[in-house]
Amino acid sequence: MPKTSDHPRGVAPEASAPATPPAHGAQQAPASAAAPAPLAVVGLGPGDASLLTPQALAALEAADVVVGYTLYVRLIPEEVLQGKTVLSTGMMAEMQRCEAAIDSALAGRPTAVVCSGDPGIYAMAGLVFELLEERGLAETLPVTVVPGIPAVCGAAALLGAPLMHDFACVSLSDLLTPWEVIERRAGKALEADFVLVLYNPRSKRRDWQLGAVMDRAKAILPPATPVGVVHDAYRPGQAVFCRTLSTFDPAEVDMLSIVVIGNSATRLVGGRMVTPRGYMEKYR
């Protein structure tokens, strides 16, 4: 269950805990007689406050309740959370967070669910809609998805211009998707010569999957193919570096990293990773 924050930023106390989620397929009445309030699923961008979009900032300011993973809530400027109720959880509590946000909006309190990056990319927007569908509320509760700068775009900007041509994103987390599916998708992307962006590339528990994908890349691409890594983009621990397929070490990567494997045309230009779009070949 999400906990109510008593952070010294003027966060108001929550009056009651969120309701227990209903059984699958069950219909659930609104949590109170109040008219439902808007629910916003808000992308915070890569992490730095300067990259929070004006629309996202406005959605946060309009909310009475902010719900999110504790690490992401901490990315919100302190002044924005003044006077708001904050419901936060640690990892592995996505369902509880989204249920709490829905219940809050049903109780008549404008609510924002916050996500890093963009809420529609490996984040909470889809889960919110699925829960509303399960509870028979898909046409009852007003929901707005507020886009944020995706982590992949922040990483690409720091690396140079690696995504100028076709690319694919694959998450290596097998928590919700079987490894066989992930491996097949990554392999097909490499075979099709996409630039391949890897989310959630490695953790303490998952320490071999990234190596398996890199082995597949080595079987397809030249050894000198650039591989870019961005760790903690636009946050205090930021690190950005480029390797090649032959020099890349998975041990340099963790869950807060994004890995970008170039395609057959990707090269380094002044130390920056560039995948040509084709302008020079066509117009020179």
Instruction: Show the domains of the chain with their CATH numbers.
Output: 3-149 (3.40.1010.10), 152-274 (3.30.950.10)
pLDDT digits (tens), the chain, 284 positions = 565 554 433 333 333 334 334 444 444 444 446 899 999 999 999 999 999 999 999 999 999 999 999 999 999 999 999 999 999 999 889 999 999 999 999 999 999 999 999 999 999 999 999 999 999 999 999 999 999 999 999 999 999 999 999 999 999 999 999 999 999 999 999 999 999 999 999 998 999 999 999 999 999 999 999 999 999 999 999 999 999 999 999 999 999 999 999 999 999 999 999 999 999 999 99
Query: Going by DSSP bridges, is the β-strand pair 85-89/65-69 parallel, antiparallel, or unpaired?
Result: parallel
Q: How far is residue 190's CA from residue 239's CA, in Å, rounded to a whole number? A: 25
Q: How far is CA 41 from CA 66, 93, 116, 156, in A?
A: 10, 16, 11, 24
Q: How far is residue 262's CA from residue 245's CA, in Å, rounded to a whole number? A: 9
Residue from 145, 146, 143, 140 nearest 31 by CA:
140
Contacts of 161 (CB under 8 A, 6+ apart): 272, 273, 274, 275
Which phi and psi (to 5°) does residue 269 adopt?
-125, 110
Are 111 and 147 spatial neighbours (Cβ–Cβ below 8 Å)? Answer: no
pTM above 0.75, yes or no: yes
DSSP label of 45:
B
Q: How far is residue 78's CA from residue 56's CA, in Å, rounded to a whole number? A: 15
